[in-house]
C-alpha cells in the first residue's frame, strides 16, 4: 500500500480572519482571567 501526501491549507472565512481591537486587547491582557483565553487561542492557532 502506498502512502499519499495531502498538502492543504485551512483558513478562516468571514469574520474569523481578523481579530478586533478588543479581542487583541483581551489576548494581550496578562490577568489570570484572560490567561485561559490566551492559551485557548494559542492552541487553536497552532492546530
Report how far Cα 36 is from the mean position of its chain's Cα atoms: 13
Instruction: Work out the end-to-end distance of the chain between its first and last CA atoms, rounded to an integer number of angstroms.
Output: 28
Structure confidence at residue 33 (pLDDT): 58
Structure confidence at residue 47 (pLDDT): 66
CA angle (18 as vertex; 15, 24 as ends), nearest 5: 120
Report how far Cα 25 is from the mean position of its chain's Cα atoms: 15
d(CA 15, CA 13) in angstroms, rounded, equals: 7
pTM of the predicted protein model: 0.36
Structure confidence by residue, pLDDT tens digits, 4-46: 887 877 676 665 667 778 877 777 776 655 677 777 777 777 7
Amino acid at each position: 500500500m502506498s502512502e499519499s501526501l495531502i498538502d492543504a491549507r485551512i483558513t478562516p472565512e468571514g469574520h474569523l480572519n481578523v481579530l478586533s481591537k478588543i479581542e487583541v486587547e483581551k489576548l494581550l491582557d496578562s490577568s489570570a482571567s484572560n490567561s485561559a483565553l490566551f492559551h485557548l487561542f494559542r492552541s487553536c492557532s497552532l492546530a
